[in-house]
A and B are shown apart, each in its own frame.
Chain A
Amino acid sequence: MRTLDALIVESPVFTSLDQDQLELIAGCASNVVFPAGDRIFREGDPADTFFLVRHGLVAIDAYVPSRGQLTLEAVGPGEIVGWSWLVPPYRWHFTGRAVEPVRAIQFDGACLRGKCDEDPRLGYTLLTRFSQLLVDRLQATRLQLMDVYGDDH
């Protein structure tokens, strides 16, 4: 069986970290499974965790009155779900739902923040990696906002 640090390193967020750092991060991680349709987290709840999806699809949903449940993004294998654990007030901004059975690695955000406080080098590295993730998501969202397939294009 592969250890968590061996699985974690395959994610672009954690790739090329040194073994000590990987083991520190793996100490805050555990394997989780969600059946299809499960709410993995809910908008407004404390965001104590984030996830590395290993199998399946996680939808990021928002409920819009009169329009129902809208899916803003769906995240698949190898991708990270959640950055609300990183910055105060540590609350989920949207709802996460398993579109299909999901296997993931769950990270304890409070545990990881504590280790980053103790080890600023690890903290800087992780913040840099998550910044890249945030930039990628921001750019994708901007592209979504442009509605490039609309009638005007």
Chain B
Amino acid sequence: MATITEPLELTRGSMTPLPYRVVRNQRENHDNWTLELEPVEEALDPIGPGQFTMLYVFGVGEVPISSSGNPAEPRRLVHTIRAVGAVTKALCALEPGDVLGARGPFGNRWPLEAARGRDLVLVGGGVGLPPLRPVVYHALAHRVELGELMLLYGGRTPADLLFTHELETWRNEHDMRVEVTVDAARSDWHGRVGVVTTLIPGAPLVADEAVAFVVGPEIMMRYTARALLDRGLDPDRIWVSMERTMRCGVGLCGHCQLGPTLICRDGPVYRWDEIEPLLRVDEL
């Protein structure tokens, strides 16, 4: 794991926001929208699966948002945003033609090479699904390089699920297993009910050869990692995407410091055996 004493590498677009225009704003559910952005002039460097950008609504503020787009279409930024605060609500209210600022790309990428030749298990909880969507696009485009490919996705209620049509497409039209569960439902829901960890014991994978990428609330990732370990996965084959308050994105301000690591720069993707000891420290 990198430490805060290592030098920073700043790239073009990492300090000054570049103007991007909204070309599409797709409502996903009651509180999530997906923005598709194209550069007004100069583009940021291509964003990879797992990385994020800082999106700036002029006069309102700036927030870090993970890429949820197809890495094969690098010019267009795609971000799925939950409207919870002033900036995210302003982002979700943008219309095609509006211009915002974008810095990045920041952070590291999912270690896609680690999954080559192995079963790949993606576990997403809540708004943890969008950062996994670029991995799905990549995995489907390179399907022959993988063993089993499965997505285990948990949401709060059926109304909170994201990308529902795409989930059906992945399940029905691709060589991919998709299991969805919700924490609470009425009787008109015909799927699984229970936390996402309950999907892991029955997942058809060769545990000692599998690789897992996990995104969601930190507590969900902790329990998911434990369930994967119980299933027989090695801790050095589980990766999680961490989230902390991020401000600068370039490892200068320290808001996202977690012990010896800065999540914006060294993460957000960490191997479980490296990050897990820090997650056991209260108040860190």
Residues of A within 8 A of B (CB): 12, 57, 59-61, 68-74, 76-79, 97, 99-100, 136, 139-140, 143-144, 146-151, 153
Contacts and interface: CB of A to CB of B under 8 A. Distances in A.
Residue from B84, B155, B186 having most chain A Cβ neighbours under 10 A: B186
A140 B216 contact: no
B193 A148 contact: no
B184 A99 contact: no
B202 A78 contact: yes
Chain B: interface residue count, which band?
20 to 34
A100 B190 contact: yes
A120 B282 CA distance: 44
Contacts of A147: 156, 183
A74 B156 contact: no
B163 to A, nearest CB: 15
Interface stretch (B8-16, B39-47, B217-225): B217-225
Interface of B is mostly: mixed
A149 B125 CA distance: 7
Interface in B234-251: none
Contact of A144 (B184, B187, B201): B184
Contact of B186 (A12, A57, A69, A100): A69
Interface string B155-194: 1100010000000000000000000010111110111111
Contacts of A71: 184-187, 189, 193
B194 A74 contact: yes
Contacts of A74: 181, 185, 191-194
Contacts of B189: 71
Contacts of B198: 136, 140
